[in-house]
A and B are shown apart, each in its own frame.
Chain A
């Protein structure tokens, strides 16, 4: 039992928490941006898988990890643009369009991967990202190695949290985005192009989701497996609700999830005689419980799920 309380255990746990939380932070921030503009993007799970696959194959082909990340962002944005076409311009049900994007992307990811690499006995791997230590900060005890010796994408994720918060709450663009999500008619009246704002937010959000997927195959692991995303997209959506559509609180939720995920892994590693599948379901169960507990104060953007059509004005 005493091994739980060693400093190195805590350092390892915190470092793992950061890694586990990162893809979910990307997903959560991408989803917050979309939903703040009034579009629920249920395509996230599939978009993250396409990001994971595209990032991996691009790096495998070019040898460049950053090209992989860029390709993942691009494919994420493209899929989100398709989502925008269905949900924003055609005004189809956001629930069903999003699921359609997820199902199509999941199928495509598996199809393209199999087409590109066949079904070899040993799946191909890439040389993944290495961790970069931030000078001085990484030398701090316990937190140094945990927080400041990380993959570059982890730093990105954590820089994006305040960046999105500032964008949403401290800039005119953010005001426009929030108005579009809360009251598209009012936004239209003051000359904001509602559908354009929604489309841009979806695309940017999709790019973040794609990068979150690429983190899984280029840093977290070094290969593509069909279940590599494993529900992290859905967890991200839950974190958006948990965080009340606020980037800071949503990211906090992602960190809690990452902590629980890291804890179950570590305790398993220590050989605790608890079946690992029961550990695996803890973060999901906690998320469900958290959703119930925050549901009273949850306030979704009023324009969420509603297509905006000018003709229906008045």
Chain B
């Protein structure tokens, strides 16, 4: 017996759109295995998961709060992957953004709040974008594998943050690795009473629309995709491939940086070592689940947020460890990969 994989005729659009939904359903079914092994009651587990994330107004808004950084990192990865810039470095770029936002936030000039907020965001975006140009330059100038460099630079930025938090940026008279609080002026306003629904969520939605616009309506978006499909053909068609990769990196890193800005300016108000619980890595799965499309990415980010927020209640009610959220994320990526394969190919078993 052998497997034969053959290309199939393109499926209609509505089937393609349902692929991520099917992948999510399959993932939830597969998640039953670790939940059952952990001794959790399945019905109670899933109901507590969804109730915990969506059941009350406050919980729903908390899910939106978590979805904001995930949307940013998901967009960052999706935009880079489309150009085959394998940016696994959203985590480090997020930290760069968080550090820059903290620095500006602490030293906020006496300007109108709107101006300070623009400064904070610009600093975070630029820091993330610049950090992403390092591996992009290495890729374009020296042909160093971008997967490896973006990964390694995550650790470099993590240690830079550690140095800052145990040194120059440490809150005076504190033994904790924690920066002073950012100024009131630099904090994102809360937009809905009795919640943490903040400006960053609106910015995340705006980013989805902007990336969608860049993707589908601008020359840069077209060039970026052309480089991703076939760099040689793109170069032959007159596109400066290196310049496109670097501009892609700046936008990608900047988006990841914005995730860090939001966590500092709206959630923690300080820089801390655990400012990101791996949002950058989740962004990879989210981008894949969203099929590298901005709107899909936003939906995937929201779904992941449901899992992450809901896992807390599931854990409280059923004793299933909260790490179930990480397991579900990993499974989702693999299931989505296989689902994508099945939309393009047919797998047949044949006898030799």
Q: A164 in the interface, Cβ–Cβ < 8 Å?
A: no
Once bound together, how far apart are the Cα atoms of A231 and B92, in whole Å?
13
Q: B334 in the interface, Cβ–Cβ < 8 Å?
A: yes
Interface size bracket, A side: 35 or more
Determine whether the beta carbon of A100 is less than 8 Å from that of B333: yes
Determine whether the beta carbon of B156 is less than 8 Å from that of A285: yes
Q: How many residues of B are counted as interface, with CB atoms below 8 angstroms from the partner's CB atoms?
A: 49
The verdict on A287 contacting B152 (CB below 8 Å), with A106-B330, A292-B142, A295-B143 known, is yes
The verdict on A111 contacting B4 (CB below 8 Å), with A234-B151, A278-B163, A296-B142 known, is no
Determine whether the beta carbon of A99 is less than 8 Å from that of B284: yes
Determine whether the beta carbon of B86 is less than 8 Å from that of A107: no
Determine whether the beta carbon of B323 is less than 8 Å from that of A86: no
Which of A104, A106, A111 neighbours the largest number of chain B CB atoms within 10 Å of its CB? A111
Closest B residue by C-beta to A89: B3
Determine whether the beta carbon of B324 is less than 8 Å from that of A111: yes
Determine whether the beta carbon of B323 is less than 8 Å from that of A278: no
The verdict on A281 contacting B159 (CB below 8 Å), with A42-B147, A103-B285, A111-B321 known, is yes
Determine whether the beta carbon of B142 is less than 8 Å from that of A288: no
The verdict on A99 contacting B338 (CB below 8 Å), with A90-B5, A275-B167, A288-B156 known, is no
The verdict on A111 contacting B326 (CB below 8 Å), with A288-B149, A291-B144, A292-B142 known, is yes
Distance between B35 CB and nearest chain A CB, rounded to angstroms: 10
Q: Which of A11-19, A140-148, A235-243 contacts B (4 or more CB under 8 A)?
A: A235-243
Contact of B330 among A95, A105, A285, A298 (CB under 8 A): A105
Determine whether the beta carbon of B321 is less than 8 Å from that of A115: yes
Contact with B along A249-278 (1 / 0, CB 8 A): 000000000000000000000000001111
Closest B residue by C-beta to A92: B337
The verdict on A280 contacting B321 (CB below 8 Å), with A97-B337, A103-B330, A234-B148 known, is no
Once bound together, how far apart are the Cα atoms of A93 and B341, in whole Å?
10
Contact of A92 among B3, B156, B323, B338 (CB under 8 A): B338
The verdict on A275 contacting B163 (CB below 8 Å), with A241-B145, A292-B144, A311-B6 known, is yes
Determine whether the beta carbon of B152 is less than 8 Å from that of A104: no
Determine whether the beta carbon of B148 is less than 8 Å from that of A291: yes
Q: A66 in the interface, Cβ–Cβ < 8 Å?
A: no
Closest A residue by C-beta to B163: A277
Contact with B along A212-245 (1 / 0, CB 8 A): 0000000000000000001100110110010000
Q: B125 in the interface, Cβ–Cβ < 8 Å?
A: no
The verdict on A114 contacting B163 (CB below 8 Å), with A103-B333, A234-B148, A285-B156 known, is no
Q: A91 in the interface, Cβ–Cβ < 8 Å?
A: yes
Q: A78 in the interface, Cβ–Cβ < 8 Å?
A: no
Q: B155 in the interface, Cβ–Cβ < 8 Å?
A: yes
Distance between A238 CB and nearest chain B CB, rounded to angstroms: 5
Q: B288 in the interface, Cβ–Cβ < 8 Å?
A: yes
Distance between B5 CB and nearest chain A CB, rounded to angstroms: 6
Residues of chain A within 8 A (CB-CB) of B148 are 234, 237-238, 241, 291
- Tell me the chain B residues, 283-334 only, with Cβ under 8 Å from chain A: 284-285, 288, 321, 323-331, 333-334
Once bound together, how far apart are the Cα atoms of A114 and B334, in whole Å?
23
Residues of chain A within 8 A (CB-CB) of B329 are 103, 107
Determine whether the beta carbon of A108 is less than 8 Å from that of B327: yes
Distance between B74 CB and nearest chain A CB, rounded to angstroms: 14
Once bound together, how far apart are the Cα atoms of A95 and B325, in whole Å?
22
Distance between A190 CB and nearest chain B CB, rounded to angstroms: 19
Once bound together, how far apart are the Cα atoms of A86 and B347, in whole Å?
13
Once bound together, how far apart are the Cα atoms of A147 and B247, in whole Å?
49
Residues of chain B within 8 A (CB-CB) of A165 are none
Determine whether the beta carbon of B326 is less than 8 Å from that of A110: yes
Residues of chain A within 8 A (CB-CB) of B324 are 107, 111
Determine whether the beta carbon of A92 is less than 8 Å from that of B147: no
Determine whether the beta carbon of A291 is less than 8 Å from that of B138: yes
- Tell me the chain B residues, 1-50 only, with Cβ under 8 Å from chain A: 3-6, 34, 37-38
Closest B residue by C-beta to A94: B147
Determine whether the beta carbon of B337 is less than 8 Å from that of A86: yes
Distance between A208 CB and nearest chain B CB, rounded to angstroms: 19
Distance between A215 CB and nearest chain B CB, rounded to angstroms: 20
Determine whether the beta carbon of A277 is less than 8 Å from that of B326: no
Once bound together, how far apart are the Cα atoms of A67 and B144, in whole Å?
40
Distance between A165 CB and nearest chain B CB, rounded to angstroms: 23
Q: A166 in the interface, Cβ–Cβ < 8 Å?
A: no
Once bound together, how far apart are the Cα atoms of A111 and B320, in whole Å?
9
Q: A4 in the interface, Cβ–Cβ < 8 Å?
A: no
Distance between B348 CB and nearest chain A CB, rounded to angstroms: 11
Closest A residue by C-beta to B138: A292
The verdict on A90 contacting B156 (CB below 8 Å), with A95-B147, A108-B330 known, is no
- Tell me the chain A residues, 101-123 only, with Cβ under 8 Å from chain B: 101-108, 110-111, 114-115
Once bound together, how far apart are the Cα atoms of A91 and B347, in whole Å?
11
Q: B153 in the interface, Cβ–Cβ < 8 Å?
A: yes
Distance between A300 CB and nearest chain B CB, rounded to angstroms: 8
Chain A positions within 8 Å of B, measured between CB atoms, are 42, 86, 89-93, 95-97, 99-108, 110-111, 114-115, 230-231, 234-235, 237-238, 241, 275-278, 280-281, 284-285, 287-288, 291-292, 295-296, 298, 309, 311
Chain B positions within 8 Å of A, measured between CB atoms, are 3-6, 34, 37-38, 86, 88, 138, 142-145, 147-149, 151-156, 159-160, 162-163, 166-167, 281, 284-285, 288, 321, 323-331, 333-334, 337-338, 341, 347
17 more A-B residue pairs beyond the given contacts A106-B330, A235-B152, with a C-beta to C-beta distance below 8 A? A92-B337, A95-B86, A95-B147, A99-B284, A103-B284, A104-B333, A105-B330, A107-B327, A111-B321, A111-B326, A231-B154, A234-B151, A238-B152, A241-B144, A277-B167, A281-B156, A291-B144
Enumerate the 9 nearest inter-chain pairs by beta-carbon distance, A residue then B residue, closest first: A104-B330, A107-B326, A281-B159, A277-B162, A277-B163, A103-B330, A107-B327, A114-B321, A111-B323
